[in-house]
Chain A
Amino acid sequence: MKEAFSGIWIIAGQRDGELLRISFELIARGLELARKRNTSLTAVVFGAGMTNKELYRLIRCGADRVIVADFPELDKFDLELHAACLTALINEYKPEVVLAGATTTGRSLAPYAAMNVHAGLTADCTGLDIDPESGLLIQTRPAAGGNIMASIKSPSCRPQMATLRPHSCLPAEPLKGRGESSGVILRMKQLPPSPEGRNTVKHIGFCPLSEDFGIQDAEKVVVVGRGIKKADNLKLVFDFAKRIGAAVGATREVVDRGWMSYPHQIGLSGKTISPRLYMAFGVSGSIQHLAGMRTAETVVAVNTDPEAQIFSIADFGITGSLFDVIPALIGEINAGNATWIK
């Protein structure tokens, strides 16, 4: 019965007809698995008014097939209705693996559908691997408050489902040699019937976030830890961050002390970031923090303690006080000696 299931699926996310970044992060993950397992990659999209032009972006980045459920009823998120579509598609096509983003949508849709199709689902994965022979998905996620990692398998149920932390990898880019003819777009013909009449939810408004932190999309992030000693000292860090065009993040200790607000928090209990440059000042490097930044491209750390764990994950480390190092960094920028910024 397990043999009847094949192919890797990702559930793409969109808003107002435009695919979200998470869709391409999932394509990157899915493509890796599909290649290793020597199977096809399918992207599933729910929405209203999805254009082929937008959907071909998924094909250019590596999807062999796009299945789109495009109905006015799917314009806004309704859990039961979206899950009914996903359930119907899984039952019809029998994918071996289904990946969704660990977003408010994915973390609702995936479990609802997993219950319907009796699938094992692993939440908030940071790593995925697949056994090329058996197709067994090896799902890695932080456990026990982020102190350890667990690798989880769903040996007997298919599909194997997982949600993936946003920004835990870089989004897929269009691949050389891939065009519109490299894959197919299938449109779902009708919404699945509802036996007892659906209790749909009506969207009556949307209130955007008043403050835009954008820390997850920033190419450079400066993170401050307990070594900052007090809130008054943050000015120095913000000043430096502004000069290099970086967003500012914080460890849980800093947020717990009320020195910075929760949206700045990086780590297991905060946001996961994957910037090109991550610079830590006075950050010790607890596992719970590392879980939120380990995929950063380049990691720089400044800490007075030469034994600080953050150095084990850094590419460049300075032992010393941030109160000496940051003024020196700013001085070199002012002197025109920090040419890497350009």
Chain B
Amino acid sequence: MHIIVTVKQVPETRTLRMDEATGTLVRDSGTAIVNPLDLYAVELALQLKELHNAHVTAISMGPPHAEKALREVMSMGVDDAVLVSDRAYAGSDAWSTAWILAAAINTVKDFDLIICGERATDGDTGQVGPELAAALNINALTYVNHFELASAGDFTASRLVEDGEEQLAGKLPMLLTVVKEIAVPRLPVLEGKIRARRAPVKTLGQNELKLDERLVGLQGAPTRVDKIFRPQIMRDCIMASATQGQGALAAVKQLNEFLLTRRIGGGGV
């Protein structure tokens, strides 16, 4: 059984910056981490590996230094890693990223299950998972919080939706996007770190994938950031002070008068 888990290297949230000219996120190696939500996908893959003797491959698309993220998940116990990297892929949006990842996945060994994090903390679209399933022509379960595999590729799972939890049953192959509730990610172990340092990371780029360049990178991305701006969300605020004059009572009386003009109603308890 072969499980593929997708991993993204992201900037730490507090150091997120945007390139004002292109509207894309600035990616430098300094403060890059593994997308925290991907660690839940890695953990589920590793638990299934232990239970079902599966082989786990991590795949990532990004600049060359994204290799660090792949080595990090290898130190947790991932067997193999594939880095999809090419200057031509820079600036890809969710659509082109999923399309490129699908092409890369089709060049590696057949898979039974693909596991993705719910979304990446930088782009925050949560679209690559379902788009990847579509590009690979397989079904997908999103927002999965529980997954159990039985023999012959039958599984039971549950999804966290707005008003509760859906319980489901199905068959592999399948793509999952998982939420935090799925598992608690393990920490890397020393032995794993040593192995990860030496393990080969396979790199795939345009030489290997030979994709239509009109469909990849900034040029191929269907969506384009037109501009970025600080939101202007001003309202004309009537100010009252609870610290001067008659204090809180006067301010509250003024507020109650104001709310009367807004016709809020609805009753209290």
Contacts and interface: CB of A to CB of B under 8 A. Distances in A.
A152 B226 contact: yes
A207 interface: yes
A199 B224 contact: no
B262 interface: yes
A144 to B, nearest CB: 4
Interface in A126-148: 138, 143-145, 147-148
Interface stretch (B39-47, B60-68, B127-135, B190-198): B127-135
Nearest to A120: B222
Contact of B142 (A108, A123, A205, A244): A108
A124 B119 CA distance: 12
Contacts of B225: 143, 150-152
Contacts of B110: none
Contacts of B235: 299, 312-315
Contacts of B17: 144
B124 A123 contact: yes
A113 B238 contact: no
A320 B255 CA distance: 13
Contacts of A328: 242, 247-249, 251-252
Contacts of B138: 80, 199
Interface string B240-269: 111100011101110110111010111111
Contacts of B243: 319-321
Interface residues of B, number: 88
Contact of A104 (B23, B125, B159, B267): B159
- Which of B141, B235, B260 is packed against the most chain A CB atoms within 10 Å? B235
Contact of B247 (A316, A324, A329): A324
B239 A199 contact: no
Interface of B is mostly: mixed
Interface stretch (B72-80, B81-89, B166-174, B203-211): B166-174
Given A123-B125, A151-B227, A204-B167, A199 B139 contact: yes
B140 interface: yes
Interface stretch (A40-48, A55-63, A176-184, A330-338): A330-338
A209 B164 contact: yes
A328 to B, nearest CB: 4
Contacts of A223: none
B131 A111 contact: yes
Contacts of B237: 301, 311-312, 314-317
A74 interface: no
B222 A118 contact: yes
Given A120-B95, A202-B168, 5 more contacts: A108-B140, A114-B134, A115-B131, A148-B231, A331-B249
Interface of A: 76-80, 83, 103-105, 107-116, 118-124, 138, 143-145, 147-157, 196, 198-209, 219-220, 242-245, 276-277, 287, 290-291, 294, 297-302, 306, 311-321, 324-325, 327-329, 331-333, 337-342
Interface of B: 13, 16-18, 23, 25, 93-95, 98-99, 121-122, 124-131, 133-135, 137-143, 156, 158-171, 173-174, 221-231, 233-243, 247-249, 251-253, 255-256, 258-260, 262, 264-269
